[in-house]
Amino acid sequence: MYEPATRVNQMTTTFHATPVFPRGFSCASRNCGIKESGRDLSLFYSETEASAAAIFTKNQFPGAPIVVGREIIRGGVLRAIVVNSRVSNVGRGEEGIRNARRMGAAAARALNVPAHQVLMSSTGIIGIPLPIEKIEAGLQDIASLLQTDPMVGAEGIMTTDTHPKAISTSVGNATITVIAKGSGMIEPNMATMLAYIFTDAEIAIEPLREMLVAAADASFNMLSIDTDTSTSDTCVIMANGQAGPVDHAAFAAALRDACIRMTEILARDGEGATKLLRVHIMGARERAEARRVAKAVVNSPLIKTMAYGADPNVGRIFMAVGKCFDVAMASDRLIAAINGTIVIENGRKSDFDEPSLRRSLSGDPVDIAIDLGVGEGEATAYGCDLTEGYIKENAAYYSS
């Protein structure tokens, strides 16, 4: 029996009602003058050395923090991450590299830790100079503001986000906390714009990196707001070991679920978005092909506007799946469902209660499940609807 409504995003992890930091982690944020108002500078700190791994954007014009960050993360140990918002430090050449290093050094001085153990990120407008003097001044006494509410740090990294984003969960005696930002320019091949993961589990560098890559592959890699890959995408995990060893399989599962949950939060807060859009593909020849079709459907402007307008236009599903020319599928066995209602069966539009489905589409989320009928490959992509708000937000972003 085909059960599309139950096949989208099954998670077993329970998340804390209020996010908390793992042992030994704290954060601070403030306005240092980059924005006219609101926090624009955040610092995340571990009181002991932490095993660390990171993955970065594949965009061929990476920001200066990415260039420097790739060097720093080779050491596999971090004590802190410093982040500014509104100016991304991209497209500034050697000046940008120098300023990224100055930013990390200023944070290291404030915390009295080695500069090579501080990773930096910048997010915001591309191409304008980083106001490094304001950042250095803002970091001078920021250590006095360190506290244990992760939402405080999340506030300082926002750009067009409508709210700060942080979640946490427990794995045995350990905690995993994910803090992220991102509302637009999101369709990366590795992670979302900025995502920082903190845990007090004791995990060595190499297995930590393997678990991060696997978790991002199932979550942040499958997120798309607008098909555009940012120049600043960064995903980092720090594990300071203060909770002791954990079961690696349990930790990997919880990390994956936490990244998926954050992916959904980011998708719901896409620029101008009113609802989460999830597309689950099954029955593909292989997982890679399932991923390709899932992305094609979630990226389709016509699918996105269908979700926004609560318009059950089945032709758009035929179109979005069928344009994947190099993917194997059985057209006479194709099955598709929207919010659990089968709308395509054996490759033909089915008879369904259109008024009822319109009512369902008016809500949040919108789940589309599609069986290609040729194999066992599965994948889920995450996105949002496309609204007038996205156009308005991005038509004036540079001057905002």
- Of the candidates 247, 235, 153, 166, the one whose C-alpha atom is nearest the C-alpha of residue 201 is 247
Tokens of 351: 């008879």
The CA distance from 357 to 256, in Å, is: 31
Q: Does 387 participate in catalysis according to the annotation?
A: no
Q: Is residue 362 a contact partner of residue 353, using CB atoms and an 8 Å limit?
A: no
Instruction: Choose the catalytic residue: 159, 169, 192, 341.
Output: 192
**Which residues are marked as active site?**
192
